[in-house]
Amino acid sequence: MTQLHIEPILDVVGLHKSFGHLAVLRGIDLQVHPRELIFIIGPSGSGKSTLLRCCNRLEEPTSGSIKIESVDILAPGVDINAVRRRIGMVFQSFNLYPHLNAMGNVTLALRKVLGKPKQDAEEMAMQVLKRVGLADKAKTFPNELSGGQQQRVAIARALALEPAIMLFDEPTSALDPELIGSVLKVMREMRESGMTMVVVSHEMRFARSAAHRVLFMDEGVILEEGPPEKIFNDPDHPRIKEFLSSLESR
pLDDT 10s digit of each residue in the chain, 250 long? 444 468 899 999 999 999 999 999 999 999 999 999 999 999 999 999 999 999 999 999 999 999 999 999 999 999 988 998 899 999 998 889 999 999 999 999 899 888 999 999 999 999 999 999 999 999 999 999 999 999 999 999 999 999 999 999 999 998 988 889 999 999 999 999 999 999 999 999 999 999 999 999 999 999 999 999 999 999 999 999 999 988 876 5
Its pTM stands at 0.93
Q: How far apart are CA 142 and CA 56, in angstroms?
A: 26
Q: Shortest CA distance to 92 belongs to which of 19, 184, 201?
A: 201
Judged on CB neighbours under 10 Å (0-12, 13-18, 19+), 23 is middle
- The pLDDT assigned to 3 comes to 46
